[in-house]
Amino acid sequence: MPEGVDPAWLAPAALRAVGSRRTLIRGSGPLVETVHGEVAEACRRFGGRVVRDASDDGPYDLALGLGTEGPELLGEEGFTFACEGGTTTVTACGGRGLLYGLFHVVRLGEAAFSGERSPQTHRPALALRMLDHWDNVAVHPVMGQVERGYAGGSLFWEDGRARGDLERVRAYGRLLAACGINAISVNNVNVHAAEARLLTDRIGEVADIAYALRPYGIRTHLSVSFAAPITLGGLSTADPLDEVVRGWWAEATRRVYEAIPDFGGYVVKADSEGQPGPFAYGRSHSEGANLLAAAVEPFGGTVHWRAFVYDHRQDWRDRATDRARAAYDHFVPLDGEFAAGAVLQVKHGPMDFQVREPVSPLIGAMPRTRLAVELQVTQEYTGQQRHVCWLGPMWSEVLRFRQERGLPVGEVARGGLVAVSNVGDDPFWTGHPLAQANLYTFGRLAWQPDAEPGEVLDEWIGLTYPEASERLSAGLHSVLDGSWRTYEKYTAPLGVGFMVQPGHHYGPSVDGYEYSPWGTYHFADRDGIGVDRSVASGTGFAGQYGAPWAGLYESPDTCPDELLLFFHHVPYGHVLKSGKTVIQHIYDTHFEGVEEVGQARSVWASLAGLVDPARHARVSERYEEQLRGAREWRDQINSYFLRKSGVPDSRGRRIH
């Protein structure tokens, strides 16, 4: 780890069990060298020994090697793990598999070397496990270096260019490999002028980044502008059916692969929030995506085409237009029209990464399209890494959600699981040291979408605090386990969403988006609150789901409490399944949320001395801000609804 940088979930002591043993490494290739480097460094630190390709110097405690058996079962990334007769063995068919096998042993620690375990096979459920960086090459006047970034500057870009020293990028790749991530898109999906040129004359800078990430099995992807043939190529059109445009993309892509032979492909935000796209030429999104797919397919690349398409210039008076409907309305008619090299990348909810949303009905409604599901690790709407909000339980709910055909989202996402990264050049990587748990959890859930998030958190604790006492582990669980629900309690209620300050999205502003063109309304008046998305009387969004969800969401009687205001406009006196009225629920959860933050702050304070001082201090400082912020949310939300409804708190607490 570069000096001064937090080791995160590869604390040196996490490699003690491996580094104190005798290891044999068999095989060759760049990733085998990475494995060897990891083990050799651990041995240097902890007194073990590593041998290459020997057959006569055994026995070994650990044998890591490439084999030829079972490629159809293991693929490039799988491995077998066994512990028999005093030797722990990891065998893989490819270098990536061996690397993931090594990190499996690291995660198990001493347990990897005790007892007898017959061979187990491990392989990722999803082939693509990717992070999207919304990093700007040049500092953007409004969005800064990293759009929605809360951890300092970009790891990749500085002063308008790729960083000269990419040691930190290499260290990042190592951390990501340790949790199973295998792809990164290195620039913002909002492609500004400086980023656009990465595709052409500045591809060498991307190649340098790809070089730094490659030893950890990570492929590099690039966000591109649909208008590139015009802005970079000087053509008069970017029409996807124009032969000259097709030729331009083919040639530009050939050059990209010349510079980066294992390039992963393009990410495209088109006809979305002002980005150019095929609509300008009267073409469909499948025609747009297929243009780029045709360019990357000969090289084995993929186009990730984002489904985040909606009208961001909506008239708030127009009650018929519902942003939640947009992705489904645009894309479901195109099912079956996307080329094999195109992946449709869908945000997990129909709106925009709110603390609570239903799963997007688009996921599950396009069986003939390769879908990737997009999560947001950066905490744009969940406390911006100033608040603790561990999102593992929320993502797990999403990934286990089953739509009509019965498959969970984690299986429907055949095109991969993607997330917006939360790291920057902050020494703790993520601003809030506890936000590292979100990044780790994302990687592990992408590998195994049905994993128990609590067990993933145990792994993260074990790797980040390898010598943690039971008190420290229990304390970390206590502050993280319920933190998502706590955050939900003191912010926008019952799935209604937003109520944040416009622009930067931090802190409460109940009516901040109420009369805006962004389509994010709550419709609170003196009688009630919520958005009627029923088929019977509302926007019809509930009807985009299959059975049983369409029926459940359609009626306030069957709609789950936590999503009630997403689907229905109800009176403040409406009684929830919990037995409380909506207004009393709002008051109670906001008081409880603040109390829970106060309790978590005390638990954290009690861990002083068990956590290294710098980390402890950083988290303590952030808890002060979280408590201040939670109080602000409580007081604004409660006051707003007391004033609107005129209904007093049944418990007579002070509301401002």
Q: How far is CA 399 from CA 60, 392, 395, 416, 442, in A?
A: 40, 10, 6, 12, 11
Interatomic CA distance for residues 531 and 538, integer angstroms? 8
Q: Which of residues 183-212 bind ligand GCV (CB under 6 A)?
A: 189-190
> For residue 44, how far is the Cα from the chain centroid?
35
Q: Please, are residues 383 and 339 in contact by the beta-carbon 8 Å criterion?
A: no
Interatomic CA distance for residues 350 and 327, integer angstroms? 7
Contacts (Cβ under 8 Å, ≥6 apart) of 72: none
Whether 488 is a known active-site residue: answer no
In the numeric block, the tokens 């090289």 are attached to: 299
Nearest to 306 by CA among 214, 415, 220: 415
Nearest to 459 by CA among 111, 93, 88: 111
Q: Which of residues 375-394 bind ligand GCV (CB under 6 A)?
A: 380
Q: Which of residues 586-645 bind ligand GCV (CB under 6 A)?
A: none
The one catalytic residue in 84, 201, 251, 273 is 273
- The yes or no reply on residue 269 touching ligand GCV (CB under 6 A) is yes
CB of 318 to ligand GCV, least distance (A): 20
> Is the CB of 413 or the CB of 586 nearer to ligand GCV?
413
Print the binding letters for residues 349-368 with ligand GCV: x by CB under 6 A, - otherwise: ---x----------------
- The yes or no reply on residue 271 touching ligand GCV (CB under 6 A) is no
> Is the CB of 349 or the CB of 556 nearer to ligand GCV?
349
> Is the CB of 520 or the CB of 584 nearer to ligand GCV?
520
The one catalytic residue in 147, 239, 297, 352 is 352
CB of 169 to ligand GCV, least distance (A): 21
> Is the CB of 142 or the CB of 320 nearer to ligand GCV?
142
Whether 61 is a known active-site residue: answer no
- The yes or no reply on residue 308 touching ligand GCV (CB under 6 A) is yes
> Is the CB of 269 or the CB of 325 nearer to ligand GCV?
269
CB of 360 to ligand GCV, least distance (A): 13
The residues facing 49 across adjacent strands are 22
Total H helices, total E strands in the chain? 21, 20
Contacts (Cβ under 8 Å, ≥6 apart) of 554: 534, 535, 536, 542, 543, 567
Interatomic CA distance for residues 560 and 357, integer angstroms? 11
- The yes or no reply on residue 285 touching ligand GCV (CB under 6 A) is no
CB of 151 to ligand GCV, least distance (A): 16
H or E stretch covering 130: strand 129-132
CB of 241 to ligand GCV, least distance (A): 26
**Per-residue buried b or exposed e for 511-532, using 16+ beta carbons within 10 Å of the residue's own CB:** ebbeeeebbbbbebeeebbbbb
- The yes or no reply on residue 226 touching ligand GCV (CB under 6 A) is no
Interatomic CA distance for residues 48 and 230, integer angstroms? 58
Q: Which of residues 333-352 bind ligand GCV (CB under 6 A)?
A: 352
CB of 400 to ligand GCV, least distance (A): 24
- List the one residue from 6, 38, 61, 147 that touches ligand GCV (CB under 6 A): 147
The one catalytic residue in 6, 271, 322, 380 is 380
Whether 352 is a known active-site residue: answer yes
Q: What DSSP letter does each residue of 399-454 carry, written as one string?
A: HH-B-TTS-BHHHH-TTEEEEE----SSTTSSSSGGGHHHHHHHHHHHH-TTS-HH
H or E stretch covering 344: strand 342-347
Q: How far is CA 629 from CA 152, 387, 596, 632, 653, in A?
A: 21, 8, 13, 5, 19
CB of 139 to ligand GCV, least distance (A): 15
> Is the CB of 84 or the CB of 273 nearer to ligand GCV?
273
Count of positions on this chain that bind ligand GCV (CB under 6 A): 10
CB of 414 to ligand GCV, least distance (A): 21
Interatomic CA distance for residues 550 and 139, integer angstroms? 44
Q: Please, are residues 29 and 56 in contact by the beta-carbon 8 Å criterion?
A: no
Catalogue the active-site residues.
273, 352, 380
Binding site for ligand GCV (CB under 6 A): 134, 147-148, 189-190, 269, 273, 308, 352, 380
